[in-house]
Chain A
């Protein structure tokens, strides 16, 4: 059978992310996938040369809107550890609350897009309707729906009032019950299973060796989640990573669905245990030396390396995002699948090219 090379992306009706894949196809079966990037690279890491390290928080928030809160938290945590800044306990809990709200709306966005990828429009609309409740919480508590901009060096900018806490808890109750009502459709529907079960399998060994991150790693049976590092207030909350073992697109979806419920539970735990006290401390001086921080984004492990030189400008800022880590595993899971399944498998890693091309 003759080989054909088919370009997938950077513009594709299913995938609103500018990634290009050169797919070698034999008789509708993909035999090789070579990724190409560079369509939207912004060089944000380089901005640390000319922006005050405090202002860089706003820059890293714009690496990715959907994970903006968690990018900023990772950046601040790295610098706070380098500069030995003790963040107040209330700020640590508030960071967890907004991070987990971000995870909920990110996973709901993805679940909707995933349903849309295989033509299940009704499910897509339902999931995005539920997501709106979380966006409304973000807006009411921070003033913004996506880029919430709550992190500052030494803590957070916003606080939650008792009324807001009661309202968030009641809204999360609704999010949970509405999502529960869709559970059988998300997990047991014939269409969903027909398009995802056994498609794009990544074995446990492959996932580990190829450096997969987040639900892509945990969907292949590896119980690794950066929240186990107990950063922010995660050490005070009950948490176990969610793992599925099949390694296919369905397993990755199932991990995200279950993590949505887990995040709601973490927000509840944090709200119930929220300590009193200040929400930030004043930060003086400039960072010097090297530091590394890791946190868990909705898409997986986020790694920041920072080198400071004692001035207000950083020497080097390096961001390794989870999608960047998940591209080699993607190249490994595409060979052997049918051409029609490519969009579903690509979406199953929850690709964020905005993150990848910082």
Chain B
């Protein structure tokens, strides 16, 4: 892992080596990774502020990991990669439930009810936003 010094020289900040990627370039890059023999490991959603989350994609080939980071506006649906890598459907559904982000083109869409019950009105993992969105599929 790379290492960076903050203003305070005593403090060490670990930085995840992740490549920034734009939403419209994501699927092309995933197709390329798949063709290059990379295996899907997982996705991580991190609440950044009132308007954005980070979507971090993790892939592996021969124990070497690559990470991609997509800054996703909460108001817009994210593009699902489950049509390219079926394994992504479960984690995308999980993110829909926990962060209220909708995924467009999810091959198996639980429509925000993988974990949550109908009466739940808050997205439980968001620090900055608490309004639950309805899935695009509904």
In the bound complex, CA of A185 to CA of B85 (Å): 39
List the A residue with the shortest CB-CB distance to B4. Answer: A289
Q: Report the contact-size class of chain A (Cβ under 8 Å from the partner).
A: 35 or more
> Do A210 and B87 touch (CB < 8 A)?
yes
> Do A45 and B125 touch (CB < 8 A)?
yes
> Do B47 and A316 touch (CB < 8 A)?
yes
Q: Which of A35, A285, A287, A292 has the most CB of B within 10 A?
A: A292
Q: Closest approach, in angstroms, between the C-beta of A346 and any C-beta of chain B?
A: 16
List the B residue with the shortest CB-CB distance to A321. Answer: B42
Q: Which residues of B contact A10 (CB under 8 A)?
A: none
Q: Of the candidates A35, A226, A303, A327, which one forms a contact with B58 in the assembled complex, judged by CB atoms under 8 Å apart? A: A303
> Do B3 and A84 touch (CB < 8 A)?
yes
Q: Which residues of B contact A291 (CB under 8 A)?
A: 1, 14, 16
Q: Of the candidates A38, A49, A229, A332, which one forms a contact with B63 in the assembled complex, judged by CB atoms under 8 Å apart? A: A229
In the bound complex, CA of A98 to CA of B56 (Å): 32
> Do B46 and A315 touch (CB < 8 A)?
yes
> Do B39 and A208 touch (CB < 8 A)?
yes
Q: Closest approach, in angstroms, between the C-beta of B29 and any C-beta of chain A?
A: 17
Question: Per-position contact with B for A298-316: 1 when CB-CB < 8 Å, else 0?
Answer: 0001010101001000011
> Do B11 and A310 touch (CB < 8 A)?
yes
> Do B39 and A307 touch (CB < 8 A)?
no
Question: Per-position contact with A for B12-36: 1 when CB-CB < 8 Å, else 0?
Answer: 1111100000000000000000100
> Do A328 and B65 touch (CB < 8 A)?
no
Stretch touching chain A among B72-80, B108-116, B128-136: B108-116
Interface assignment of A82: CB less than 8 Å from any CB of chain B: yes
Interface assignment of A224: CB less than 8 Å from any CB of chain B: yes
Q: Which residues of A contact B44 (CB under 8 A)?
A: 305, 316, 318, 320
Q: Which residues of A contact B15 (CB under 8 A)?
A: 289-290
Q: Which of A34, A35, A209, A285 has the most CB of B within 10 A?
A: A209
Interface assignment of B68: CB less than 8 Å from any CB of chain A: no
Q: Which residues of A contact B58 (CB under 8 A)?
A: 292, 303, 305
> Do B63 and A209 touch (CB < 8 A)?
no
Interface assignment of A187: CB less than 8 Å from any CB of chain B: no
Q: Closest approach, in angstroms, between the C-beta of B86 and any C-beta of chain A?
A: 6
List the B residue with the shortest CB-CB distance to A332. Answer: B86
Interface assignment of B89: CB less than 8 Å from any CB of chain A: yes
Interface assignment of A166: CB less than 8 Å from any CB of chain B: no
> Do A290 and B14 touch (CB < 8 A)?
yes
Interface assignment of A257: CB less than 8 Å from any CB of chain B: no
In the bound complex, CA of A338 to CA of B46 (Å): 42
Interface assignment of B40: CB less than 8 Å from any CB of chain A: yes
Known contacts A84-B12, A290-B15, A316-B47; can you find 16 more A-B pairs with CB under 8 A? A37-B114, A46-B124, A49-B127, A209-B87, A211-B39, A211-B85, A228-B63, A229-B63, A289-B13, A303-B42, A310-B11, A315-B46, A316-B44, A318-B45, A320-B91, A328-B90
17 contacts between A and B (CB under 8 A): A36-B110, A82-B12, A82-B14, A84-B3, A209-B34, A209-B87, A289-B4, A289-B16, A292-B67, A305-B56, A305-B58, A310-B11, A316-B44, A318-B44, A320-B42, A325-B42, A328-B87
Residues in A lying within 8 Å of B, measured CB to CB: 34-38, 41, 43, 45-46, 49, 81-84, 208-211, 224, 226, 228-229, 285, 287-292, 294, 301, 303, 305, 307, 310, 315-316, 318, 320, 324-325, 327-329, 332, 357
CB-based closest 3 A-B pairs: A211-B87, A82-B14, A289-B13
